[in-house]
Amino acid sequence: MTKLLSLVLASALLASCGGSGGGRYAEDNEPDYSSHEPVEDERDDRIAELEAQLKEAREIAAELETRQSDVESATNDLNDNVDRLASENWRDVIPDIERSTQDVDSAQQDAAVSAQELSEALEEK
């Protein structure tokens, strides 16, 4: 009688669970991980977002390096023109110095803009 009662209870339990182990396993007896998919999707989305931000920051950093090189080049040109004052007529050199000074100012402004863009990109989220 005890065996019969155990068999009936086991059958009832299996029937109420759908015979699939309480829903823990899919029909092909593989573990059902579908409850974890939303967490994985959110993590994958966050990873993709961070990778996009990193790519943007790297592009801006490369632009900043270019701007820094431009500042150095313009500064070297200015120094060369100032050095010309020692051997050339100042009336011939001053216009070149003025032009070089404007080039340095422009290059510095471009570098500042690139630095600000990089800073903003790094501050995002």
Q: Give me the pLDDT at residue 14, please.
A: 55
For 46-87, write each residue's pLDDT tens digit: 999 999 988 988 888 888 899 999 999 999 999 999 999 999
The C-alpha angle 54, 58, 61, rounded to 5 degrees, equals 135
C-alpha torsion angle, residues 50, 56, 58, 59 (rounded to 10):
170
Q: How many CA atoms lie within 13 A of 67 on its CB side?
A: 20
Average pLDDT over residues 13-17: 54
Q: Give me the pLDDT at residue 76, please.
A: 96
Q: How far is CA 21 from CA 3, 9, 35, 37, in A?
A: 22, 15, 16, 20
Does the pLDDT value for residue 17 go beyond 60? no
